[in-house]
Amino acid sequence: MAKLLGIDYGKQRTGIAETDDLQIVASGLTTVKTADIWQFFEDYLKENKVEKIIVGESLDLDGNPNPIEEEIKQFIKKFKRKYSEIEVLREDERYTSKMALDSMIKGGVKKQKRRNKALVDQVSAALILQSYLYRK
């Protein structure tokens, strides 16, 4: 079985999470500069087999797309062109940043470390991926 990747796409940074090979558990993997995302995929996919990526869908509280959503759609379009064998799915990402901070607090992560936006993005990606796994 191949892994799944969770993507919390952002203008500056993109949080990335992965499943184990059995697709049971989602874990934060890394956060990369969005400008470097394609190099990350090139390197990662040389070493890992990926079946699907789950990309967070950025919606406001009323369910309307946030401004970043257009960039996310462009990212997905390019991803599908480059890696047509990997399925791309979407998952609602509302509240994932808040849930990420809450889970870090509950997990005993110190306040100084919780201020690290890259770590929050990584945890958010794991929550997006875990949400997909629960629904699946």
Q: Could you tell me which of 11, 4, 13 has the C-alpha nearest to residue 86? A: 4
Tokens of 2: 């191949």
User: What confidence tens digit (pLDDT) does each residue in 38-91 have?
Assistant: 999 999 999 999 999 999 998 887 888 889 999 999 999 999 999 999 999 999
93/6: higher pLDDT = 6
Nearest of 131, 125, 135 to residue 18 by alpha carbon: 125
Domains of the chain and any CATH numbers? 3-135 (3.30.420.140)
pTM: 0.86
